[in-house]
Structure 1
Amino acid sequence: MDYRITCLVLIQIAAVVVDGEERTCHYKFGAYHPQIYDMFTCAWCYTFLFPKRGLTAHPAHPFLFLTSESGRVHARLNPDAKNDTARTEICRTLTDEQCQRWQSCCNAAHECCDKQLSLPPPDNSTCQATWDGYGCWGKEAPSTVNYINCPLYMSYSIPTRQAEKICLPNSTWLMKAGMYWTDYTQCSNYKDLKTSLYLGMGCSIFSVIVLVPAIYIFVRYKALRKQHRIRLHINFFLALLLKEVMTILWDMLVTYDRVSHEDAFNTILVQNGVGCKLLSFFMIYFKCTSFTWMFCEGFYLHRLMSDAFSPPRSLVTLYLTGWGIPLLSSTIYAIIRGIYANESCWSTSYEDKEWIFYAPNLTCLIVNFIFLCNILRILLTQLQSHPNEPSNFRKAVKATFVLIPLFGVQLFVTIYRIPVNKQAGLEYERFSLFCNNLQGFFVALIFCFLNSEVITHLRKTWRRRIRDRSLGGSKRLNTTLNQTLSFNTDTLDRKSSDKRNRKENYQMDDNVNGDVFSKDSRGNDIRYNPVPATDEELCSMPENNHGKCMLH
């Protein structure tokens, strides 16, 4: 081991002495030969990623040391991630997932060294390219603030967030406490990440809840859906709805999965499966469709305002524009991304290549802004012809504010993205989420639920249902009464018939005195009288014993 150390030191000395013949790679604590650089950076990757695992790095020695609480060194490990034996020894102190994170950090540091070697030799005109322990920075101009995406091997890191490094006017990197300093606070601040995530999801869900009934109302009424204006609204609302649904799925399945796990390599984002890349593609596509359909809305309204006597007769061209152009740009981007940067579910920035779909989106916004300005000019011209009607001015102002969400003018505020670690950057990020994710809510509210024509149709439907319910209730009540009356009538008829039968047919024989009685059936007064007896029976009665009875 001592022999190897001596050789490494000699290599390092040779690299320093033979200036110009042997290039070095720069990292946080100095410049070294690439092999020594790899050992230093791997050692510090371990220390930065797992500070409580027991192994520590040293600024002057390219090893990992196992020390006791008193600071006594018990073991010294070679941190070379490319050496199988050394890698096995290091990974015994880590879980499998942590070992992958450590190796990823080492590989990123090695790639940074290759990048430095490909650049021209350093001079005093720029800040030197370097590896800061987590990320790689190129040669940057003085007095600039530079950014890189947060690396995935950091705990709770989201690649859409960025780290910041400042190049001072004297062409040196900013230092704090005597060391080169990089701001990674936004990469690991998962509490703020979750807050922004919940805010964005809440706004998207709110828009979906409002957009679904709005689309149903437009489709439900034939008098509405046959209008060209309403057909454009339906397509625009559908584009916004699908965009918000894709955003919700991405936040729930990908982003939340990442911020909820410290270990990145078991997450969907790092596994980089086909499903998450398809989700990323559809999210990009439907976001682009929302811009093109904003343009279609603006174009149609501008055409009506500027030439009311010749409105578009067919919407086929607008349909192809609204759904076709985003499909073309998104497909081209997906092909290039899948070939050259097929990682992290395409969530990381692909720099200039993203202008493939950014350019059409920005063009739609600019053209819509021109449309809006011209519409305002037309309205103001009409106001000048009727100066004594103050209500016209209020209508013009109202129309301006109403058209802002339809034309997407509010999105101009969110075009430039202020880094989160800048002052008010976090607040600006959440304001952007509010503007972008609630656009569907505002357009559905203004152009559907507050539309007088829609309100009229809804009132008619409501009154018709109330009337139908009232008629239905009356019919049910009449049916019930008729059934009840019919039942009572049948019952009374049966009872009367039974009584008549009993009055006519009922006879009773009294075995005690031998009298025979018949039932009287006159009216409802029921009486029982003896049936007239024979003459012999009458004469045999006690009251006839005085000789008044004469037998024949």
Structure 2
Amino acid sequence: MCSLRIYCVLLTTITLCLASAETADPEDKCPADVAPRQCRLRESLYEYHLWNYFAGFYCYNYTNDARLLKRYKYESYAVLCRNEPKTVPVAIIDEKTSVFYDYTNSTAMHYIQRSFKSEILFKNFLTCCREAVDCCKHHMNNDNIMLNSTHCPAVWDAWSCFPPTPVGTMAKLPCSGQAYQSPDAVCRLESEKECIQNGDHADWISQTNYQTCAIAPIYRRRYNFHIKFLGTCVVFCIPAIVIFLVFEKLRKTTRVVLHRNLLIAICVRNAMTIMSKEIVLIDALKTSAYTHHIMDNNGIGCRILAFLETSSINSIYACMILDGFYLHKVIVRAFAKEIKMKHVYIALIVLTFSSSIPWAIAMAALEAKNCWMVDIHNLQWIVDGYRIVILVINTIFLMDIIRVMLLKMKHGGTTRQTMAAFRATLFLIPLFGLHILITAKKLVYDDSCAAEDLYDYARYSMESLQGILVAILFCYANKEVKNELRNAYRKLAIHLNQKYGWNIGGEAIYNNRRATTATYVCK
């Protein structure tokens, strides 16, 4: 028992020594044989050899709260610089441990990393430290950091490195990654820092304007635009789905059933996407005082929502390839055996979940955060690869259909038939989903926010227009559907006339009936 107590005392002593070693200064940090050199950080000048400590401190101290699990408090610690006493900030880890903010000190960074929510966010902090050192080392000297009457001095403001700037002008730099809640790359925005005349010398306004770096309003505008277009698409699709379900003739036609399934899949996908954007993504863009922290909490509900959204997107692709396969069979292999609907629905289920389930398993295995809606593990290829394969297959189907149509036109097709054939081909593009190829890969290589807005708005519009075009082309503008609606209206008008004496639709419905009209009445 005594030996165990001695061992514990020795272990505690060693631990305390290791912790104190982080805050102990073993030697003078500023070599006497090296010419003094300073760098400007905000309003103060710091010795070059102490720069790491202050750069790390400011990068950490101004890190967005959304990136931290907790923020360490700090205190000043005495060091020597050319035998002169100086102080540098140290992070207070606990009652017994304090560490420097020096990003080159691996032991200190081990403690600092614990306060970040993820390794990626911590690496973003290290990037800030390296940029601060680069600013001091390559963009500052003992001349350009001094105040003068014509130019504001070179300065590191804790996030950005502003060069000497003429008085009365506004310096602009690309926004630092530290200005955002997440480390993801965003479109190019610029921070602003104004150089003004301050008495007999030029000086910076102390506060850099980073409000121009606010990316949340841009994302909110894009998401709201997407939500409105998806809602419009649902409004267009639901009546078409009802029409396809109500009329028995349409309900029993395989081609129409496949179109109906595609519209249903589009509506379900739109509903899932609207929910994920409204409940999770837009909520994450709100300030901490107004957000519900759904993405940060990473609850099972939002992860299920992400899985359902991914599966619903897959279901659209599954419907598209089934539609493509069937139309290819009808046009190219007209005498092939008719498809059984039981097999269609089995294929639809298999295709819907064949990539979303492996994706969900991989996300769960890696304990992915952010409600599985931010791909930091590069797992999106699991579902994207599946979707690309479907688009390629549908492209092959379409090319073969065009080939057969051209052959038919070559053997006696009239001009009217030619136009009808090409029009039919154009109708197949939204049905086959080939329009998605235009926005499948970002074609705008300009990293400005205006260019990205143009790309995202075009992508969202095309995504929403697929359902609208399918509903219009294969339902509202379809002659077969119009005939069914016309017959239904005629039945209703005749029924109301016979039962209540109402004359709906004019005398033409009753006076111009063909002899076969009774067939419709008696049905």
Settle same-fold status: TM greater than 0.5.
yes
Check conservation: 2:314, 2:387, Cα contact below 8 A.
yes
The corresponding residue for 1:408 is 433
- Pairing of 1:428-439 with structure 2 (within 5 A): 428-439=455-466
The answer to whether structure 1 residue 472 and structure 2 residue 488 are counterparts is no
Cα distance in structure 1, aligned partners of 2:410 and 2:330: 20
TM-score w.r.t. the length of structure 1 is 0.59
Q: Number of matched residues? A: 376
Does the CA contact (< 8 Å) of 2:359 and 2:382 recur in 1?
yes
Q: What residue is the counterpart of 1:332 in the other structure?
A: 358
Structure 1 vs Structure 2: percent identity of aligned residues? 22
- Residue 380 of structure 2 aligns to a residue whose secondary structure is helix
Deviations 1:433-475 (A, max 9, x none): 1111231111111111111111111111122222333333339
* Separation of aligned partners in 1, 2:464 and 2:48: 47
Instruction: Please give the alpha-carbon distance, in whole angstroms, between the structure 1 residues aligned to 2:490 and 2:478.
Output: 18
Instruction: Report how far residue 347 of structure 1 moved.
Output: 1.4
Distance in structure 2 (CA, Å) of the matches to 1:260 and 1:415: 29
Where does structure 2 lack aligned partners over 5 or more consecutive residues?
1-19, 35-45, 66-72, 77-86, 99-112, 129-156, 161-175, 190-209, 504-523
Q: Distance in 2 between matches of 1:367 and 1:12?
A: 66
Question: 1:379, CA displacement in angstroms?
Answer: 0.9
Cα deviation 1:6-38 (Å, max 9, x = unaligned): 834849789xx9xxxxxxxxxxx99999xx968
User: Which residue of structure 2 aligns with residue 233 of structure 1?
Assistant: 259
Partner of residue 186, structure 2: 162
Q: Hey, what does 2:477 align to over in structure 1?
A: 450
Separation in structure 2 between the aligned mates of residue 31 and residue 385 of structure 1, nearest angstrom:
84
Match of 2:56 in 1: 41
The one-letter code sitting in structure 1 at the alignment partner of 2:317 is: F
1:7 aligned to 21, 24, 36, which one? 24
Distance 1:354 1:107, change over 3 A: closer
Provide Cα deviations, 1:181-215, integer angstroms capped at 9, x if missing partner. Answer: xxx99973222222211110011101111222211
Tell me the residue number matched to 1:278.
Answer: 304
Q: Return the match for 2:412 from 386, 395, 410.
A: 386
Within 1, Cα distance between the matches of 2:91 and 2:346? 56
Distance of 2:121 and 2:238 partners within structure 1: 49
Cα distance per residue 1:308-354 (max 9 Å; x no partner): 11243313333222221231311111111112142001111245422
* Counterpart amino acid of residue 459 in structure 2: S
Aligned position for 1:104:
116
* Runs (5+) with no aligned partner, structure 1: 18-28, 51-61, 66-75, 88-100, 117-131, 136-149, 166-183, 477-552
State the match for 2:277 in structure 1. Answer: 251
Report the Cα offset of residue 359 of structure 1.
1.1
Partner of residue 206, structure 1? 232
Q: What letter is aligned with 1:46? A: N
Find the aligned partners of 2:226 and 2:499 in 1 and give their Cα distance. Answer: 46
Q: Is the 8 A contact 1:405 1:442 kept in 2?
A: yes
SS in 2 for 1:261: coil
Alpha-carbon offset, residue 113 of structure 1: 8.5
Q: Does 1:322 align with 2:348?
A: yes
Q: Kindly tell me: are residues 42 and 302 of structure 1, through their superposed partners in 2, closer, same or farther at Cα, counting changes over 3 Å? A: farther
User: Contact conserved, 2:306 with 2:371, CA < 8 A, in 1?
Assistant: yes
1:80 corresponds to = 91
Change in 2 beyond 3 A, CA 1:259/1:474: same
Closer, same or farther: CA 283–106 of 1 in aligned 2, 3 Å: closer
Is the CA contact (8 Å cut-off) linking 2:284 and 2:295 kept in structure 1?
Answer: yes
Whole-Å Cα distance in 1 between the matches of residues 339 and 319 of structure 2?
18
**Contact 1:281–1:334 under 8 Å retained in 2:** yes
Counterpart position of 1:459: 486
In the TM superposition, what whole-angstrom CA distance separates every residue of 1:254-286 from its partner, at most 9, and x where no partner exists? 122122335697421111111111111101111
Rounded to whole Å, the distance in 1 between the matches of 2:464 and 2:97 is 50
- The 8 Å contact of residues 54 and 88 in structure 2, kept in 1 or not, is answered as no
Aligned partner of 1:44: which letter? Answer: C
For 2:365 and 2:468, the matched residues in 1 are separated by 37
Whichever residue aligns with residue 116 of structure 2, its letter is: S
The alignment partner of 1:80 has SS state of strand
- Between the aligned partners of 1:5 and 1:355, the Cα distance in structure 2 is 44
Q: Let me know the Cα RMSD of the aligned residues.
A: 4.3
Pairing of 1:189-204 with structure 2 (within 5 A):
189-204=215-230
User: Considering only CA atoms, is the larger Rg found in Structure 1 or Structure 2?
Assistant: 1
User: Deviations for 1:483-540, whole angstroms, at most 9, x for unmatched residues?
Assistant: xxxxxxxxxxxxxxxxxxxxxxxxxxxxxxxxxxxxxxxxxxxxxxxxxxxxxxxxxx
Distance 1:475 1:303, change over 3 A: closer
Q: 1:133 to 1:366 in 2, by over 3 A?
A: farther
1:425 aligns with 2:452: yes
Per mean C-alpha deviation after superposition, the further-off stretch among 78-87 and 252-261 is: 78-87
- TM-score, reference length from structure 2: 0.62
- 2:446 & 2:278 partners in 1: Cα distance? 22
CA distance in 1, matches of 2:416, 2:48: 74
1:363 aligns with 2:369: no
Matched, 1:269 2:295: yes
Deviations 1:77-120 (A, max 9, x none): 94626346999xxxxxxxxxxxxx9943797565569999xxxx
Indicate if the aligned counterparts of 1:239 and 1:290 stay in contact, CA closer than 8 A: yes
Contact 2:284–2:291 at 8 Å: present in 1 too? no
In the aligned structure 2, how far is the partner of 1:453 from the partner of 1:367?
Answer: 29
Residues 1:84 and 1:238: Cα distance change in structure 2 (over 3 Å):
farther
Contact 1:207 1:437 in 2 (8 A): yes
Correspondence for 1:397 among 422, 432, 446: 422
> Given the superposition, is the C-alpha separation of residues 250 and 110 from structure 1 closer, same or farther in structure 2, using an over 3 Å criterion?
closer
How far, CA to CA, are the matches of 2:428 and 2:234 in structure 1?
Answer: 21
What is residue 147 of structure 1 aligned with on the other side? none
Q: C-alpha separation between the residues in 1 aligned to 2:272 and 2:124?
A: 35
User: Residues 290 and 160 from structure 1, CA distance in 2 versus in 1: closer, same or farther, beyond 3 angstroms?
Assistant: farther
